[in-house]
Chain A
Amino acid sequence: GESVGLHLPTLSVQEGDNSIINCAYSNSASDYFIWYKQESGKGPQFIIDIRSNMDKRQGQRVTVLLNKTVKHLSLQIAATQPGDSAVYFCAEKNTGTASKLTFGTGTRLQVTL
């Protein structure tokens, strides 16, 4: 999940297992959500996005679930691989505003062999 401060929440997962990373967003007016993956010393890479008129969207090995009732977003990674180790951020955008994404603080995913 998300938290504030210097220490990122960490999720440790064994290689081959499924990972679930959670995100609570703050603005009920947000209509677009994105998950990014960031490896150390690099810029964030797009993983998957979802619009607020959807509950679920699937990509290659990843699924994003959106629960607008409780303002919760999750990223599921199937068959987690060592290359999935990174910090994962969710981001939200408000309806009608310029494309200013608001980012969460991130979750570190550690894949153990």
Chain B
Amino acid sequence: DGGITQSPKYLFRKEGQNVTLSCEQNLNHDAMYWYRQDPGQGLRLIYYSQIVNDFQKGDIAEGYSVSREKKESFPLTVTSAQKNPTAFYLCASSLRPLGNEKLFFGSGTQLSVL
């Protein structure tokens, strides 16, 4: 099955701890994205990557970091600098970074603070 796999589904972070959320896709898509979703709100873009070894800040990048060493993988690290990390995190991909195309989403990771 082709798709986007996010793991873990639930993650707990202690104060001062960095945690990493995994996102893998086997769709052979060039572009990948991370969105944050808070209750009752729309999705906000954290980071995106148009091609391997390249990524750009989105609208709310502070306190987060990413890497894109492989086309299939786009992990997101929530650092201790992110003071309000509790949210639902969604990874997405699209075939081409500049075209008018739909994004395919993973099933999300719920991050909570202990």
Evaluate whether A49 and B43 lie within 8 angstroms (CB atoms) in the complex, with A42-B107, A98-B97 already known: no
Q: Count chain B residues whose beta carbon lies closer than 8 angstroms to a beta carbon of A.
A: 33
Q: Residue of B at shortest CB range from A5?
A: B40
Which one, B6, B103, B105, contacts A99 given CB within 8 A? Answer: B103
A97 — which chain B residues lie within 8 A by C-beta? Answer: 98
A32 to B94, CA, bound (A): 14
Is B94 in contact with A104, judged by CB distance below 8 angstroms? no
Q: Is the CB of B42 within 8 A of A106?
A: yes
Chain A: minimal CB distance from B61 (Å): 12
Chain A residues within an 8 Å CB radius of B35: 103
Is A113 engaged at the interface, CB distance under 8 Å to the other chain?
Answer: no
- Given A8-B40, A89-B43, A100-B45, the answer on whether A31 and B103 have CB atoms closer than 8 Å is no
- CB-CB under 8 A from B105, the residues of chain A are 36, 43-45
Q: What DSSP secondary structure best describes chain A's contact surface?
A: loop
Chain B window 8-50, contacts with chain A (Cβ cutoff 8 Å), 1 for yes, 0 for no: 0000000000000000000000010101000111111100101
B76 at the interface (CB under 8 A from A): no
Which residues of chain A are within 8 angstroms of B96 by Cβ–Cβ distance?
A: 99
- Contacting A at CB under 8 A, from B55-114, are 56, 58, 90, 92, 94, 96-108, 110
Q: Chain A interface: which size bin?
A: 20 to 34
Q: Which residues of B contact A104 (CB under 8 A)?
A: 42
The one of A7, A43, A89 that contacts B107, using a Cβ cutoff of 8 Å: A43
Q: Least Cβ distance of A25 to chain B in Å?
A: 12
Question: Which residue of the partner chain, among B41, B42, B48, B106, contacts A43 with CB atoms under 8 Å?
Answer: B106
Q: How far is the CA of A65 from the CA of B65 in the complex (A)?
A: 38
Instruction: Give chain B's interface residues, CB within 8 Å of chain A.
Output: 4, 6, 31, 33, 35, 39-45, 48, 50, 56, 58, 90, 92, 94, 96-108, 110
- Show 26 residue pairs from A and B whose CB-CB distance is below 8 angstroms, ordered by the A residue: A4-B41, A6-B39, A7-B40, A31-B100, A34-B102, A41-B110, A43-B6, A43-B107, A44-B43, A46-B103, A96-B98, A98-B31, A98-B48, A98-B50, A98-B97, A99-B96, A99-B98, A99-B99, A99-B100, A100-B33, A100-B45, A101-B45, A103-B44, A105-B42, A106-B40, A106-B41
